Amino acid sequence: MEHYKRLKRELVRKGAVIDYYKDTIEINGEKLAYFDFVGHKGAAAMIPVDADGKIILVRQYRNAIDQYTLEIPAGGLNPGEESKICAMRECEEETGYKPGETHHLIDLYTTVAFSNEKISIYYTNELIATNQNLDEDEYVTVERYSIDELTSMIFEGKIVDAKTISGILAYKNKMAL
């Protein structure tokens, strides 16, 4: 098995959401390799389940893939913010529903080949209607689906977001126990 040792991490560009680095890695003490690394502050997401058992999702445009996606509400951690608080905040901001009792479901790294972005996913069955409080560049519509509808949409390729797929399938599994 090869031994990898990071010798250097150089900041190439600092962004609003991510930082881009060039890493110099020594392999087996004999050769150098260079890797791109995207540093991310972390994120959290929520699976909000309403009184009818429907899961509330948001549909929004995603520039990176130039299409609209259906996703569980999520967002980046603020400095010093705990992931559970972030998930609850993002849920209320994006859906207009404030979570009550909230439970941890799963943690995942989105793209381990080049980023350290970690998303913690939570769920709640307690929602209090408030108001959406979207960022000025955020435009979302709120939609509700049953777990079976969402599972079908995943396998039909209608839901393509990794955190949403992971969260929904983990939630479905947890509820089946």
Two tokens at 134?
């979207």
In one-letter notation, the amino acid at residue 175 is M
| 113 phi/psi in degrees, rounded to 5 | -70, -30
> Has residue 154 got a pLDDT over 90?
yes
User: Stretch 53-76: mean pLDDT, rounded?
Assistant: 96
Report the SS3 class of residue 153.
Answer: helix
> Has residue 138 got a pLDDT over 80?
no
Reported as a pLDDT band with limits 50, 70 and 90, residue 2 is confident
Cα distance between the two ends of the chain: 39
User: Stretch 100-118: mean pLDDT, rounded?
Assistant: 96
Indicate the angle between helix axes 162-176 and 147-155, nearest 10 degrees. 130
- What's the whole-model pTM score? 0.92
DSSP string, 44-65: EEEEEB-TTSPEEEEEEEEGGG
In one-letter notation, the amino acid at residue 20 is Y
* Non-local CB neighbours of 108 within 8 Å, separated by 6+ positions: 118, 119, 121, 162, 163, 166
Q: From CA 30, how far away is CA 51, in angstroms rounded?
A: 60
Going along the chain from its start, the domains and CATH numbers come out as 4-39 (no CATH), 42-109+120-176 (3.90.79.10)
Comparing 16 with 88, the larger pLDDT belongs to 88
Torsion of CA 148, 141, 59, 145, to 10 degrees: 0
pLDDT of residue 137: 80
In this predicted model, what pLDDT tens digit does every residue of 18-51 receive, in sequence order? 999 999 999 999 999 999 999 999 999 999 999 9
